[in-house]
Chains A and B, each alone.
Chain A
Amino acid sequence: MSRDTIRYQRSHDVLFRHVRDLVLLLDPSDGQVVALGGAGPDLWELLAHPITFRDAVSRLASSYAVAPERIEPEVRVVFDHLARRDVLVAAAS
């Protein structure tokens, strides 16, 4: 199964807060606080429930009224960053 089609969601182990148009996350791997800006907070909302990368891009593109390929690179950077740090986990199928 391609990584883009695996359903991911937020790890329950992550502490976070909303601050204006940012989401602050406490990175469980090193205890550092990370701020998600741009499309990050909207992505974070979507990740409250299991969702694939492709579906997340599609939903965000729809809400911003832009083509998916236009936002995919930015979303992928955030998605990969979160997945690498165990902030995202693969959802049970």
Chain B
Amino acid sequence: VNVPVDPIRPYGDAPHLVAVAAHGLAGTLTELPSSPLRDDEWRELLAGVRLQRLPGLLARAIDQGAMGASSRQVEQATDLHLHAMTTTLKLEAVLVRVAGLLGAAGLPFRVLKGAASSHLDFPDPSMRSFQDIDILVPPEHLDATVRLLGRHGFGRRFPAPRPGFDARFGKAVTLVGADQSEIDLHRTFALGPFGQRIQVADLWSRPGTPFFLAGTPATALDPDLRLLNAAYHCVLGDHPARLMPMRDIAQLALGGQVSATRVLALVAGWQGEAVLAQAVRATWDTLQIADMTTLSTWADRYRASPREERDLSVYLDPGATFAGKSYAAVRGIPRLPDRLAYLRALLLPQSSYLGSRHDGRIARLRQGTSEVFGKAPKK
């Protein structure tokens, strides 16, 4: 497998977009334009800001006078920010409701990603928008949580492949509310081999960081785990990596609350050093951060093993698929009986799951065997 482990620079031709993503970060060498961009440059920037969910940072850069903009550009940037914040507030209202339901039922949870980091890691939550709600739930409470929220109008997008699969092997269960708002109930951070190697008990070993949402108590992961969540999301989520997870990483890594020693110990236990190293390197390179920290120095020196490169390729290859990551996850499951149970669920799922995602058992088996044994399925 010949996959570059060092990040390609996908934003090399978008210096303004990168400078917006880095605006306000201590130590960034990026430069925002001091005078208004040409129309074509501005249109391109605005499209990138929308795609990368950076309207809060663009608006802040303009409002603080760090970036030049014409009155029309100010108006467009404000409109984009208003739209993003309207969506964010509506999602946050759903989160408040869900947090209230889970709290009243005594079901533990942790708010993940944007809904937590906007309040805990940014100076102003208006800087960080988000498009969905992610919640971590202990595996032993996952089914009860799905049932509880189901009674309050949140239905599963897809059935489980087999009973018990979600709590044992799944990454997340997606629920959809009556207003089409989506909630991802996570067991772990990622699909595939790196996701399976995460020690889920580590995610619950500390009390987390409490915060309030409209008077409703909620809890996020502690800063070390928030950093690792952002790193896994950055490298194993979209490809090329998005700028907002990089900003989340920088915000945490430079924020003074993260213990590099604990982060490195945790990720070593998860055999995820290649993921963290790539995430930190991509963040430092892309956002052009000059400050050297324990984590950035470690990431620069880290060299992935051939096995790590092979596992990363499952996520980073141009043809990477959901199914490919699902079947490659077998490599991250240590015990043989668990591997067999996992494969059985993927190759022979219950009929309700087949009806929702695949044409039928034969097609499923064909796709599964091709993913496991690396052969192209016959059409």
CB contact under 8 A between A22 and B89, given known A13-B215, A15-B214, A17-B126: no
Question: Which residues in A have their C-beta under 8 angstroms from that of B96?
Answer: 15
The stretch that binds A, out of B6-14, B80-88, B101-109, B320-328, is: B80-88
Q: Is B92 an interface residue (CB 8 A)?
A: yes
Q: Determine if B92 and A26 form an interchain contact, defined as CB atoms under 8 angstroms apart.
A: yes
Q: Is A18 an interface residue (CB 8 A)?
A: yes
CB contact under 8 A between A17 and B125, given known A24-B82, A35-B82: yes
CB contact under 8 A between A17 and B89, given known A22-B82, A24-B82, A35-B82: yes
Interface size on A, residues (CB 8 A): 17
CB distance from A26 to the nearest CB of B (A): 4
Q: Is B124 an interface residue (CB 8 A)?
A: yes
Which of the residues A16, A17, A19, A31 comes within 8 Å of B78, measured between beta carbons? Answer: A19
Question: Which residues in A have their C-beta under 8 angstroms from that of B85?
Answer: 17, 19, 24
A48 to B92, CA, bound (A): 20
CB distance from A11 to the nearest CB of B (A): 8
A86 to B14, CA, bound (A): 45
Question: Which residues in A have their C-beta under 8 angstroms from that of B215?
Answer: 11-13
CB distance from A17 to the nearest CB of B (A): 4
Question: Which residues in B have their C-beta under 8 angstroms from that of A15?
Answer: 89, 92-93, 96, 213-214
Which of the residues A12, A17, A33 comes within 8 Å of B214, measured between beta carbons? Answer: A12
CB contact under 8 A between A20 and B59, given known A12-B215, A14-B214: yes
CB distance from A84 to the nearest CB of B (A): 19
Within 8 A of B (CB), among A30-59: 31, 33, 35
Q: Determine if B86 and A20 form an interchain contact, defined as CB atoms under 8 angstroms apart.
A: no
CB distance from A58 to the nearest CB of B (A): 28
CB contact under 8 A between A20 and B90, given known A12-B215, A13-B215, A15-B213: no
Question: Which residues in A have their C-beta under 8 angstroms from that of B82?
Answer: 19, 22, 24, 35
Q: Determine if A24 and B59 form an interchain contact, defined as CB atoms under 8 angstroms apart.
A: no
A6 to B214, CA, bound (A): 23
Q: How large is the interface on B (under 10, 10 to 19, 20 to 34, 35 or more residues)?
A: 20 to 34
A17 to B126, CA, bound (A): 6
Q: Determine if A31 and B90 form an interchain contact, defined as CB atoms under 8 angstroms apart.
A: yes
A28 to B126, CA, bound (A): 19
Question: Which residues in A have their C-beta under 8 angstroms from that of B93?
Answer: 15, 26, 31
Question: Which residues in A have their C-beta under 8 angstroms from that of B63?
Answer: 20
Q: Determine if B88 and A17 form an interchain contact, defined as CB atoms under 8 angstroms apart.
A: yes
Q: Can you name the residue of chain A whose Cβ is closest to the Cβ of B124?
A: A18
Between A26, A31, A35, the greatest number of chain B beta carbons within 10 A of the residue's beta carbon is seen for A26
A26 to B91, CA, bound (A): 11
Q: Can you name the residue of chain A whose Cβ is closest to the Cβ of B59?
A: A20
Question: Which residues in A have their C-beta under 8 angstroms from that of B86?
Answer: 24, 33
CB contact under 8 A between A20 and B89, given known A13-B214, A14-B214: no
Question: Which residues in A have their C-beta under 8 angstroms from that of B124?
Answer: 18
Which of the residues A11, A12, A13, A26 comes within 8 Å of B89, measured between beta carbons? Answer: A26
**Binary flags per residue of B49-77, CB closer than 8 Å to A gives 1, else 0:** 00000000001000100000000000000
Q: Determine if A19 and B59 form an interchain contact, defined as CB atoms under 8 angstroms apart.
A: yes
Within 8 A of A (CB), among B88-127: 88-90, 92-93, 96, 124-126
A28 to B89, CA, bound (A): 11
Q: Can you name the residue of chain A whose Cβ is closest to the Cβ of B95?
A: A15
CB distance from A82 to the nearest CB of B (A): 15
CB distance from B25 to the nearest CB of A (A): 20
CB distance from A67 to the nearest CB of B (A): 30
CB distance from A79 to the nearest CB of B (A): 21
Question: Which residues in B have their C-beta under 8 angstroms from that of A24?
Answer: 82, 85-86, 89
CB distance from B23 to the nearest CB of A (A): 15
Question: Which residues in B have their C-beta under 8 angstroms from that of A22?
Answer: 82
A12 to B90, CA, bound (A): 16
Residues of A within 8 A of B (CB): 11-20, 22, 24, 26, 28, 31, 33, 35
22 contacts between A and B (CB under 8 A): A11-B215, A13-B214, A15-B89, A15-B92, A15-B96, A16-B89, A17-B85, A17-B89, A18-B124, A18-B126, A19-B59, A19-B78, A19-B81, A20-B63, A20-B78, A20-B81, A24-B85, A26-B90, A26-B92, A31-B90, A33-B86, A33-B90
